[in-house]
Chain A
Amino acid sequence: MYNIQKAVSRLDFAPKLKEIEVTDFKKGLGVFTPKPEKPVSFAALKETLNKAGYKLAAADITVAGKLVKEEKGWAIAVQQSGQRIALAGPNLDVVIGETREDDNIEVTGDWKTVGKGSTARETIYPPAANVASRRAQPAAPIFAKVSFNDQPLGENVVFFSAAPAAPIRVTSPGLTVYKGGSVTPRVYFIKQHFGDLQVHRQILDLSVSYTPSPRLQLEGVVTFSRTAYDDGGTSGSGFGVGNVTVWAKYRFFRTVETYGDRQAALRVGMELPTGKKTAPSQAQINVPDFVRQQLTPISGGLSPHLDVAFSQAGGRFIFGGNAEAIFRTEREGFRMGHEQRVSTDLEYVLPRDPHKPGGELFLILETTFVHRSNGRLDGLRVSGSGATEYYLAPGLQYAAHPRFVVEGSFQFPVVRNTGDLALRTDRNILLGVRWLF
């Protein structure tokens, strides 16, 4: 792929070689952000790739600018380059909608150069489903983002990580495959205790995400939980579905530089009150009410999550972190305390064969600081139910294939300052796979 990057980087409007990102080796997908002050040309992109031995199959472009009316139709005027890019195609009316002339607009679509020589004109054909348009907003940064799809005829490629590298427990600011998604089933084996009471949980988290645009990812997570408890005298177990959580992640910052990819994202989630709320009865297990409530798969009712994540790659190292806040509401009088989490992630990548993607092994060390305030039961604050904890979690992630990842992580507490009524977590083993589509 080095040759693709090198060829594209020679274009006037292209960024530096290392800022041209190959996002999918197998499909030959790449992405770059053109210099905003230079006019772009699909024909030039096609020609430069052709000279390097590649055939450009298609390219998408995202352009932001002012909507202008021309003799032959609508166009976007890009302020910095002064270039006007025509808008065409059957979905144009839907795309423009109620946007008026001189309003700011951002359009994504199939990119072509129509005509030749002096009559050549860059044109975007937006598909109805993949269009972002803005109206009457403050002037947005003017940019154009291109993704190209080449058809390599066989090349010995330089390694350029296309693996879906991500931290395991820490929120990744990265997105999965553009216009694609991922399925991530994960199993957690958690051991907790409360005095003599031993609690073993097996939790299956099933996450499905979709990335409709280069900045946005949507995700849904459903949890299935089995909890077994034993205080030496009595024992029992329960199974239930946990709360469903829906997420939207917006990557607001990204640079691809010589020293690595750097990105940041804001993630908001809503935990829906769908989980099983019935706790074991006092007759089943003789512990305080608040402790019994913690044996259910839920931590409360409707709960908004707010999460900011950052990561930076540098050579074979990747480091990142996230800060998350969870605001819990009560479900039938019960909720755990509001929670703040700060996590960090350090990864080291070991490629199996630098000639081709797949087979990378990620050595991962994650840390999590959790502070949870006191919870509530029967509408009353329960003192001694909060906790402040710090965990370490070494893990391994193996990209068996550019689109298939296996991962495992062992989390254990280093500092555990828990209240009298909070279950204490002794270990948390995670095993999971991730499949990108």
Chain B
Amino acid sequence: MKRVFAIALLLLSSMCGLAQSWQKVELELRDINGRALKLADYKGKVLLINFWATWCAPCRSEIPELIKLQSKYRDQGLQIVGITYPPEELSEVQRYVKNAKVNYPIAIGTKATKALFTTSETLPITVVFDPDGNVKHIIEGILYTDEFDEKVKPLLIKQ
């Protein structure tokens, strides 16, 4: 049933094209603690959706930097949300998040979740939304500091 849902979602996304805004996406996820996670809750924030996996070495290398960015720019409106890419075990993700002290929400995603935003096969991949929920950038691979400075910082509230 899960698979059917994922395929349906995938077909829907391919029929409609990739989402240009989270407002047009019916995406309800559960974070790793079972809480509902809606993108609409982050309206007004610069949202970074980071697709990653525990089995992806570059993703793991990137996470400490994302944690730092979340701490540093939280007050300027930055919100990172991590969404895992299958195959993943919930318990493995929970253990990793706890050990790495991840300071932003992590949800379990499917292939279809990622397909809503991008057809790229790369992991990690980060989708950058402006405060109105529009997709501004899709950053393939590790998000390097200079890319953050160039593509994300200008969207943040200046202090």
Q: Which A residues are closer than 8 A to B by beta carbons? A: 2-3, 6-7, 10, 51-54, 152-159, 354-355
Contacts and interface: CB of A to CB of B under 8 A. Distances in A.
B60 A53 contact: yes
B61 A156 contact: no
A159 B140 CA distance: 13
B58 A155 contact: yes
A153 B140 CA distance: 19
Contacts of B56: 53, 154-156
Contact of B140 (A2, A51, A154): A2
A2 B60 contact: no
A53 B61 contact: yes
A95 B144 CA distance: 41
A48 to B, nearest CB: 10
Interface in B91-107: none
A159 B85 CA distance: 17
B66 interface: no
Contacts of A53: 56-61
B122 A156 contact: yes
Contact of A2 (B53, B55, B141): B141
B80 interface: no
Contacts of B61: 51-53
B123 interface: yes
Contacts of B144: 10
B47 interface: no
Contacts of A7: 58, 141-142
A156 B123 contact: yes
Contacts of A2: 122, 140-141
A157 B85 CA distance: 13
A53 to B, nearest CB: 3
Given A3-B141, A52-B142, A157 B57 contact: no
B121 interface: yes
9 contacts: A2-B140, A3-B58, A3-B141, A52-B57, A53-B56, A53-B59, A152-B57, A156-B121, A354-B121
A6 B122 CA distance: 11
B33 interface: no
A40 B61 CA distance: 24
A218 to B, nearest CB: 36
Contact of B142 (A3, A152, A153): A3
In the A-B complex, the 6 residue pairs with the smallest Cβ-Cβ separation, listed nearest first, are: A53-B57, A153-B57, A53-B61, A3-B58, A6-B141, A156-B123
A53 B56 CA distance: 9
A422 B61 CA distance: 67
A158 B85 CA distance: 14
Question: How many B residues are at the interface, by size bracket?
Answer: 10 to 19
Contact of A52 (B53, B55, B58, B85): B58
A54 B60 CA distance: 11
B159 interface: no
Interface string B100-130: 0000000000000000000011110000000
A355 B58 contact: no
A3 B122 contact: yes
A154 B56 CA distance: 5
A425 B120 CA distance: 47
A159 B53 CA distance: 18
Interface string B44-64: 000000000101111111000
Given A7-B142, A10-B144, A155 B57 contact: yes
Given A53-B60, A152-B57, A158 B142 contact: no
B58 A158 contact: no
A51 B61 CA distance: 6
A152 to B, nearest CB: 6
A157 B57 CA distance: 11
A159 B122 CA distance: 8
B121 A355 contact: yes
Given A2-B140, A3-B141, A10-B144, A158 B57 contact: no
B32 to A, nearest CB: 20
Interface string B118-152: 00111100000000000000001110100000000
A3, A6, A53, A159: residue with the most chain B Cβ atoms closer than 10 Å: A3
Nearest to B54: A154
A158 B59 CA distance: 14
B57 A156 contact: no
A6 B144 CA distance: 10
B60 A155 contact: no
A359 to B, nearest CB: 14
Given A53-B58, A53-B60, A156-B122, 4 more contacts: A3-B58, A51-B61, A154-B57, A156-B85
Contacts of A6: 140-142
Nearest to A353: B121
A377 B135 CA distance: 75
